[in-house]
């Protein structure tokens, strides 16, 4: 059985649903909130107006959490955290009084989706940015969110915030595309495949790309050289989950991250850098995957290992 039948092709291949809400928050917005001339409606940059909803378990949300912290946007864009265990109604707010988000006043993120599009039938996903004035979803377009944090919110970056997007983006954008296809989404294509052929194709692409990244990191600290960039954040959130979840749960088991010398050293280097390790919650990561994916792990047993202390080794 497929974990998500609507996103599984007849061939058994996992095909992730498109992001339904793709508006942009833009520093150059001259239109009214939620209006714009192109396919992406524009909302104005406004401190305190928007709420970033994340799960600490989700790698897509994790990247937004890291970039928000690296750039010093914590006081500018508020954040709500959902429970790592989804039920039949989706992501739940259980960490606050009355099981409601204290800013949005909702129990489930799905309430904001339905309030924005009453006919919405897809999966409710994180990260999602919600307008606190109207309760409307601005975006769940996770590939764009961190880029906009870097380019549209520059007036509110902390002093000496890292420049996560280089002036010449061509190399970074190519890496982002390759890593998303084969690694970030590739582990899901392994884990959610329902045919041997689809699984093996995803598996082969995943490890071929990891081999390339292992070689790339032989002579440089970061993927683009000496400087941290947005693509490093994107790779890190998959690597930090690899041995704890993807290696066993998603059958991505040719070798562990700890068995790639350069990738393992690179991942530990990032983990120990401010903004990274303190945003990792291995308990929530493991409980989400092993309990929520009931077709893959019907017993719901959560493994004890691996030991997170290994991430602190030099």
In this structure, what token pair is assigned to residue 231?
């693509």
Catalytic residue among 50, 108, 113, 188: 188
108 as an active site residue: the answer is no
Catalytic residue among 58, 199, 203, 246: 58
Distance CA 16, CA 13 (A): 10
Return all residues near 210 (Cβ < 8 A) that are at least 6 apart. Answer: 183, 260, 263
Contact 32, 59 (CB under 8 A): no
Distance CA 214, CA 229 (A): 17
Provide φ and ψ at 105, rounded to 5°. 75, 20
In this structure, what token pair is assigned to residue 160?
């000496």
- Helices 230-241, 261-271: inter-axial angle, 10-degree rounding: 110
Candidates 243, 222, 242; CA nearest to 233 is 222
**Pairing between strand 42-44 and 24-26?**
parallel
Distance CA 243, CA 312 (A): 15
190 as an active site residue: the answer is no
Catalytic residue numbers, as ranges: 58, 188
């Amino acid at each position: 059985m497929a974990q998500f039948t609507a996103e599984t092709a007849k061939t058994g291949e996992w095909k992730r649903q498109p992001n339904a809400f793709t508006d942009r928050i833009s520093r150059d917005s001259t239109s009214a909130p939620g209006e714009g001339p192109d396919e992406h409606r524009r909302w104005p940059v406004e401190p305190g107006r928007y709420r970033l909803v994340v799960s600490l378990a989700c790698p897509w949300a994790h990247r937004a959490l890291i970039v928000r912290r690296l750039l010093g946007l914590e006081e500018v864009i508020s954040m709500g955290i959902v429970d790592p265990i989804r039920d039949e109604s989706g992501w739940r707010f259980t960490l606050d009084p009355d099981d409601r988000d204290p800013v949005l006043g909702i129990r489930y993120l799905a309430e904001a989706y339905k309030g924005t599009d009453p006919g919405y039938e897809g999966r409710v996903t994180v990260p999602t940015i919600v307008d606190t004035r109207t309760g409307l979803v601005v975006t769940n377009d996770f590939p764009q969110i961190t880029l906009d944090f870097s380019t549209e919110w520059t007036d509110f970056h902390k002093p000496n915030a890292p420049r996560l997007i280089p002036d010449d983006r061509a190399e970074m954008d190519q890496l982002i595309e390759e890593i998303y296809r084969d690694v970030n989404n590739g582990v899901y294509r392994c884990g959610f495949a329902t045919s041997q052929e689809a699984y093996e194709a995803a598996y082969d692409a995943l490890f071929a790309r990891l081999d390339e990244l292992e070689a790339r990191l032989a002579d440089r600290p970061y993927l683009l050289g000496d400087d941290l960039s947005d693509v490093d954040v994107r790779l890190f959130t998959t690597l930090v989950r690899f041995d704890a979840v993807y290696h066993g749960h998603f059958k991505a088991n040719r070798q562990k991250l700890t068995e790639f010398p350069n990738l393992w050293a690179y991942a530990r280097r990032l983990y120990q850098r401010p903004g990274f390790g303190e945003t990792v919650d291995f308990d929530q990561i493991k409980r989400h995957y092993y309990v929520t994916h009931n077709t893959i792990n019907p017993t719901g047993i959560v493994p004890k290992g691996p030991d997170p202390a290994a991430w602190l080794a030099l």
